[in-house]
Amino acid sequence: MTEAELYTLYKGIYLPSALHPPESLKYYEDFTFRPDDILIATYPKSGTTWMQEIVPLIMSGGDPASVESLPNWDRVPWLEEQRALILNLEQRPSPRMFSTHYRYNMLPPSFFKVKPKVIYITRNPKDVFTSAFHYYDTTSFLVKPGPQNEFLHKFLDGNVMFGSWFDHVKSWLNAEDKEHIMYISYEELIMDLKDSVARIAKFLGKSLEAEVVEKIAERCLFKNMRQNNMSNYSLVPAQFMDQSKSKFLRKGIAGDWKNQLTEAEAEHFDAVYKDKMKDVTYKFVWD
Ligand code: A3P
């Protein structure tokens, strides 16, 4: 199926129509944030699910039930997704935890007024591409990636769900008020998960004993998260997500692009990156 058949063009970017009917987009436009809400913001395939495990564990002081009683999509729901309509989010006790794949400038007016805490995760875009290439092949609601080189061009041109990686990252880096935003990379989580958990807890104003931080980090290791049926997408029927093709929690490493991109593709990627990111002064761990 094609983009025209599977996607909705919303504010100039593609969204999979099956997950984002017009009522959902409207719901988010009118959504009222609370000052103590926590929002995980990501470009898809950057570590959203990982943070949906880390944040509830931090906020519950390390209680395993916080990630074992609800699937990640209800535990830290995406505000732009259809399920947000039926979860009674207005009735949830504070602090509420949400996810979003929106760019900064797509958020509703209440966000800019209330300024809830945001954790924005970045990931080396070549790894984002690699993860997406495998993921797109598994789902019925995304356009099949086709040949790798073709998908690479779509990705670099932003003709994929949630648009261009470059525009997404730049929108969040250029946020007007950065006081309430924590920027952290997938690579930092990989390099030192314990330290990352401690930093995230501090940002969220949660003081945790060292051993609790250690327990949370242990639980959030790739091999352990893969066992959590509330986080590994095993509850999703195969007709929507066929994990026999590729697991959602696929490899969980930094630098897998080296196994995926040809030398010519990597060079092309770097050239596009250099051009699109030329005005960005932020220092990424992968630069
Ligand atoms: P890979 O496909 O490279 O393995 P998102 O949740 O934003 O869609 O991102 C999915 C990516 O995050 C996948 O990358 C997935 O394996 C990775 N991921 C999820 N949990 C992880 C963890 N605990 N450790 C490392 N990577 C994790």
At residue 26 the predicted structure's pLDDT band, cuts being 50, 70 and 90, is very high
Cα–Cα distance, 51 to 202 (Å, whole number): 15
Cα–Cα distance, 29 to 120 (Å, whole number): 20
**Region 3-124+161-238: CATH code:** 3.40.50.300
Cα–Cα distance, 106 to 93 (Å, whole number): 25
The pTM of this model reads: 0.98
Atom from ligand 1 closest to the CA of residue 43: 7
pLDDT score at 251 = 98
Quote the ligand 1 centre to 114 CA distance (angstroms). 30
Quote the ligand 1 centre to 194 CA distance (angstroms). 17
Domain ranges for the chain, please list them: 3-124+161-238
The closest residue, in CA terms, to atom 22 on ligand 1 is 222
Residue-wise pLDDT for 265-278, tens only, equals: 999 999 999 999 99
Catalytic residues: 101
Atom from ligand 1 closest to the CA of residue 231: 20
For residue 97, list its beta bridge partners: 38
Q: For ligand 1, which residues put their CB under 6 angstroms from it? A: 42, 44-50, 127, 131, 134, 220, 222, 225, 249-252, 256
